[in-house]
A and B are shown apart, each in its own frame.
Chain A
């Protein structure tokens, strides 16, 4: 089991649905939503939250810096 459990918060209204976070995630946590935000973009969200290890890859590559990452020791 992973040593860390992570979670991300996406500012969905500011997300542009570029998908760069999706391909950067080593554990396939993120998907683009079927729905759209106010700008018409399919925003990113945690589709598989249990797999998040809080590595921050998604936050680092996001051009609009709309992802906040949290990480806690796995209990």
Chain B
């Protein structure tokens, strides 16, 4: 048997082990090559498919690169003003308590302009899932410093590296919200390897299961990359993330009640 015929024999329906879930639409994503947003979208879509909640899930997209998330996941969506996704999600989940409501927010959106909204939604323990994508930068607007930018990190607005004496220190949002009694599940994950993607999927599933059980707020941070903002290739970005982000933003679950 030639190699080509062997491959053609393997490529058949009964041998299929991994394909794009139908909850992801066919629209090509506008994200830069290698952007973590794409992986996170896919994982959320896979969880929605596995839990069979496609017609019961409502996402709230942010301002940031993921503003157009509604083009990619085939569920109901709203799009919030910058940082206000937790407020919109609060109203939605209170009015429709049987829906699975989640916000999807970047670090600029959640930790900077939306810092008040997320703190109070967490403190109230709204019955929602928060997906927080921490790439340590404002990706969409061209790579400016975010509250999560690391000390010394070069961005468009910190060309000599972030100076904590004048701009404060990188904010550890997961640690902060884990102190609030309203949060039930707080975890920090990543998505750069197959193992990390599998773990992230379990965490997101747990979040939606908490919603089903009316447990309150699940906060899922994902440490990700922004190769355009960081001015590295996608593979170099993963290495930079492991070396610089993981020590300051350690992975793992901070709270599970």
Contact = CB atoms under 8 A, between A and B. Distances in A.
B18 A67 contact: yes
B17 A54 contact: yes
A26 to B, nearest CB: 9
Nearest to A68: B19
Measured as residues with beta carbon below 8 angstroms from the partner, the interface class of chain A is: 35 or more
Contact of B12 (A17, A59, A70): A70
Interface string B27-45: 0110111111111001000
B197 interface: yes
Interface string A51-75: 0001111011111111111111000
Given A57-B194, A65-B24, A70-B12, A16 B33 contact: yes
B235 A5 contact: no
A16 B37 CA distance: 14
Interface in A27-73: 41, 46, 49-50, 54-57, 59-72
B257 interface: no
B36 A64 contact: no
A65 B33 contact: no
Contacts of B238: 20, 23
Contact of B7 (A24, A49, A55, A66): A49
Contacts, number: 99
Interface in B21-79: 24, 28-29, 31-39, 42
A32 B228 CA distance: 20
A50 to B, nearest CB: 6
B34 A16 contact: yes
Contact of A63 (B39, B193, B235): B39
A63 B38 contact: yes
Contact of A7 (B11, B19, B33, B191): B11
Interface in B210-257: 233-235, 238
Interface centre among A17, A46, A63, A71, by most chain B C-beta atoms within 10 angstroms, is A63
B234 A19 contact: yes
B194 A18 contact: no
B34 A63 contact: yes
B11 A70 contact: yes
A31 to B, nearest CB: 13
Given A55-B194, A68-B20, A20 B234 contact: yes
A63 B18 contact: no
B202 interface: no
Nearest to A66: B20
B3 A49 contact: yes
A69 B17 contact: yes
B10 interface: yes
Interface of B: 3, 6-7, 9-12, 15-20, 24, 28-29, 31-39, 42, 191-194, 197-198, 233-235, 238
Interface of A: 5-7, 9, 14, 16-20, 22-24, 41, 46, 49-50, 54-57, 59-72
